[in-house]
Amino acid sequence: MAIVLYNDQFVSREECTVDIEDRGYQFGDGVYEVIRIYSGKMFTGKEHITRLFESAEKIRLDLPFTKEELIENLYKLVEKNNLHTGTIYLQVTRGTSARQHQFPLEGKPVFTAYTKEVARPEAQMNEGVKAIVAEDVRWLRCDIKSLNLLGNLLAKQEAYSQGSFEAILHREGTVTEGSSSNAFIIKNNKLFTHPATNLILNGITRRELIRLCPGIGLEVKEEAFTLDDLLEADEVFIASTTAEIMPIVQIDGKAVGNAAPGEWTQKLQSVFKASIQEQCGELVKVER
């Protein structure tokens, strides 16, 4: 990421600095998005930008640009960094002010964005990954894509410390989502996922795969399911911007199904890839 977008200027990373009293740094007072880039194009970019504005509105943060202006600048950023396959990370904070919990009377939001080369996780998608179950101890506004991610980080770290890819979270036995993904099960040829309430982030990949399900004849049930349902499911997978549709083949040491990506999961991977190609063009494998 030789060039970053700082407010409305393109600068080198060395020129981009954050004040010690930036409210994002001190309070996590801000929102963010991660957008996938394939073949130099944003996948579901408009949906991500719309969600950024929705998250900002929920925390009463006025963004200093329009959606159209932001999309234009993000494409310039991709071009300046010659990014083919990867991600854009973008965030906006409430800006710098003397440290106090209430909002400053006058504040100027601070926006930053940068790119990163990230290959598609093809080997993991083909083989499947392991997960653990963890208690969901996060706050009750998980629908806001805010900078407050400590609960997510602790769950993810616990998964990694046990040699797993993801932690699937639950509140008193009801599965919500993953530490950095949405969670899904397949049972009796039906897909189940927690409804889009304040308890989960309504993922853009989640929305896209739900849109694709009717085309392959898979019925969708946006209904809460339990830990027992999770452990007895025919198939389990998670979905996120960077992980795409990732099969879970083992949970807490117990095999899911036959310990391999399931038939419906593979079908969803196929139509999801087709959706990417429809928006962004032919996918070319890029080595790290």
Q: Which residues are catalytic?
A: 145
**Please, what is the angle between helix 263-280 and helix 204-212, to 10°?**
110
Closest CA to 191 of 216, 161, 162, 228: 216
| Count of all residues that appear for the chain in the document | 288
Q: Which amino acid is at 32?
A: Y
Q: Which two tokens stand for residue 98?
A: 């003397």
In order of 26, 39, 260, the CA distances from 279 in angstroms are 38, 10, 29
CB 184 within 8 A of CB 191: yes
The Cβ-side half-sphere exposure at 14, using a 13 Å CA radius, reads 0
Using the Cα atoms of residue 146, residue 149, residue 155 and residue 161 in order, give the sign of their dihedral: positive
Question: Could you tell me which residues are beta bridge partners of residue 3?
Answer: 12
Query: What three-state secondary structure class fits 160?
Result: helix
Q: What is the largest CA-CA distance in the chain?
A: 58
Q: Which two tokens stand for residue 247?
A: 């099969």
